[in-house]
């Protein structure tokens, strides 16, 4: 009984071992064929399927010498080279992007500088306009011009040097005022007109004493002669623009 059972077990083990070896060889071949089908020799493929487990082991050993090692190496080298090319390209793109960023920055700075310049120019222009306006306001503001009556004019002689009034002639703008000051010791008059024609009636101080002042504002443009009623040689002029 025992010897019979051992024989059965031995047969069973042998069958399982053989089947396993064939199965292993077939799987190995299939995986190889699927990867490199076009390069696998047909004769060797055939020998696997019909061969025993031992044959499959031998075939497996032979295939592990890798007849396509050179091709694989070349593929790897190409992949490596491609990777390097890609890396270089990437670096070039990065450098380009960086360059563009720097250019954009420079452009921005230039625009800022231009804007600043324009702002300064605008400010200067504004200041110039303000100064001009101020000047115009100043010039349009009514002015007061002084005329003096020098000492000794009550005696003829000042007319020879045109110094009976100093200055004897003044130029002003409409709206301006002339203020006469009697610096002499005698009394005088500032009377519009000329001695030959008599008073014009435009302005007349009547007698104003030593140290006194007389003012008249000229609202209209024109040439205004005047004289002293007491001392007719004392002639002056006010030019109003």
Q: Which is nearer to Cu ion, 22 or 228 (CB)?
A: 228
Alpha carbon distance 217, 28 (integer Å): 127
Mutual angle of helices 42-50 and 2-36, in 10-degree steps: 160
Q: How far is the CB of 188 from Cu ion (least distance, A)?
A: 3
Q: How far is the CB of 172 from Cu ion (least distance, A)?
A: 22
216 binds Cu ion (CB under 5 A): no
Is the C-alpha dihedral spanning 129, 131, 134, 139 positive or negative? negative
Q: How far is the CB of 148 from Cu ion (least distance, A)?
A: 13
Q: How far is the CB of 234 from Cu ion (least distance, A)?
A: 5
Q: What are phi and psi of 218, to 5 degrees?
A: -95, 105
188 binds Cu ion (CB under 5 A): yes
Closest CA to 165 of 95, 97, 118, 225: 225
For residue 164, how far is the Cα from the chain centroid?
66
Alpha carbon distance 217, 174 (integer Å): 8
Stretch that binds Cu ion, among 49-57, 186-194, 201-209, 218-226 (CB under 5 A): 186-194
231 binds Cu ion (CB under 5 A): yes
Strand order in the sheet with 222-227: 169-172, 235-240, 222-227, 191-194, 198-204
Q: Which of 56, 147, 228, 238 binds Cu ion (CB under 5 A)?
A: 228
Stretch that binds Cu ion, among 95-103, 108-116, 124-132, 185-193 (CB under 5 A): 185-193
Q: Which is nearer to Cu ion, 29 or 182 (CB)?
A: 182
**Residue 83 burial (CB count, 10 A):** 10
Stretch that binds Cu ion, among 23-31, 90-98, 175-183, 187-195 (CB under 5 A): 187-195
Q: Which of 21, 33, 145, 230 binds Cu ion (CB under 5 A)?
A: 230
Give the binding site for Cu ion (CB under 5 A): 188, 228, 230-231
């Amino acid at each position: 009984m025992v010897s019979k059972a051992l024989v059965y077990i031995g047969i069973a083990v042998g069958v399982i071992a053989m089947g396993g070896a064939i199965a292993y060889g077939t799987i190995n071949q299939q995986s190889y064929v699927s990867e490199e089908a076009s390069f696998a020799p047909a004769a060797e493929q055939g020998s696997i399927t019909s061969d025993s487990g031992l044959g499959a082991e031998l075939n497996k050993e032979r295939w592990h010498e890798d007849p396509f090692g050179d091709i694989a190496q070349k593929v790897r080298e190409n992949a490596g080279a491609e990777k390097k090319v890609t890396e270089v390209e990437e670096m070039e793109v990065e450098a380009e992007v960086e360059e563009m960023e720097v250019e954009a920055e420079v452009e921005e700075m230039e625009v800022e500088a231009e804007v600043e310049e324009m702002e300064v120019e605008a400010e200067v222009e504004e200041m110039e306009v303000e100064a001009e306006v101020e000047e115009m306001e100043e010039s349009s503001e009514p002015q007061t011009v002084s005329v003096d009556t020098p000492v000794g004019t009550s005696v003829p002689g000042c007319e020879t040097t045109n110094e009976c009034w100093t200055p004897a002639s003044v130029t002003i703008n409409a709206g301006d005022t002339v203020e006469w000051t009697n610096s002499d010791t005698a009394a005088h008059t500032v009377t519009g007109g000329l001695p030959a024609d008599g008073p014009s009636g435009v302005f007349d101080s009547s007698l104003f004493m030593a140290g006194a002042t007389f003012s008249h504002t000229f609202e209209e443009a024109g040439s205004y002669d005047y004289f002293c009623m007491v001392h007719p040689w004392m002639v002056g002029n006010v030019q109003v623009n």
